[in-house]
């Protein structure tokens, strides 16, 4: 069994901009666990614990549902939080240009994988890349102020030409991600 998800990796060229924003949040003294900038990605679907046989079936379904999507560009250019600024659990970077195609991809993945028994996500899909998880309400006002000040921040533009099935091994030092397979658009 392996803990898996479907994602699009952000490029190395985004790392400095991600680190810069994370530094601003660190200055708040908030209780935030930051994602390593080299590991930041856009999750299209979390699959959970699955076996290798099911991974192979997921790859086939993924290939089928993405076959009509050509490579495209996205712009990562916003900062937000889930679920709200009143109760922050996740700090994320949002997608501007290209978000419609990511939403279409997610719809296709949800529909296709439901045929394999995966539950459809009940929450609305908002294309994003998590950069930090807030562990408590410590200095929440300062965190909200950094979010508001950085709304619309440009992180970068990137091509999307592949989607990966990734494995996540949870360790005391944070998750270790490895690519299992990829589907080329």
Q: What are phi and psi of 109, to 5 degrees?
A: -65, -45
CB atoms within 10 A of CB 81: 19
Report d(CA 22, CA 44) in Å as an integer.
Answer: 23
Q: Which two tokens stand for residue 157?
A: 């533009």
Report d(CA 5, CA 55) in Å as an integer.
Answer: 10
Question: Active-site residue among 3, 26, 39, 41?
Answer: 41
Q: Is there a catalytic annotation at residue 128?
A: yes
Q: Is there a catalytic annotation at residue 43?
A: no
Rounded (10°) angle between helices 15-26 and 140-150: 150
Task: Find out whether 87 and 77 touch, Cβ atoms under 8 Å.
Answer: no
Rg over CA atoms, the chain: 17
Give, as one character, the DSSP assignment of residue 123: S
String of DSSP letters for 110-142 = HHHHHTTTPPPP-SPP--EEEEEEE-S-TTHHH
Report d(CA 152, CA 159) in Å as an integer.
Answer: 20
* Catalytic center residues: 41, 128
């Amino acid at each position: 069994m392996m803990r898996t998800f479907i994602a699009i990796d952000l490029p190395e060229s985004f790392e400095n901009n991600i680190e810069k924003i994370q530094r601003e949040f660190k200055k708040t003294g908030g209780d935030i666990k930051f994602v390593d900038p080299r590991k930041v990605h856009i999750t299209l679907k979390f699959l959970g614990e699955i076996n290798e046989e099911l991974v192979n079936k997921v790859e086939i379904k993924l290939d089928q549902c993405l076959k009509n999507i050509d490579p495209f560009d996205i712009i990562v250019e916003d900062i937000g939080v889930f679920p709200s600024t009143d109760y922050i659990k996740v700090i994320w970077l949002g997608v501007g240009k290209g978000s419609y195609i990511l939403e279409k991809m997610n719809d296709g993945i949800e529909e296709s994988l439901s045929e394999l028994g995966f539950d459809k996500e009940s929450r609305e899909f908002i294309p994003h890349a998590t950069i930090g998880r807030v562990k408590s309400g410590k200095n929440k006002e300062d965190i909200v102020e950094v979010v508001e000040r950085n709304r619309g921040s440009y992180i970068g533009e990137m091509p999307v030409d592949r989607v990966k099935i990734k494995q996540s091994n949870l360790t005391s030092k944070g998750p270790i991600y490895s690519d299992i397979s990829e589907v080329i658009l």
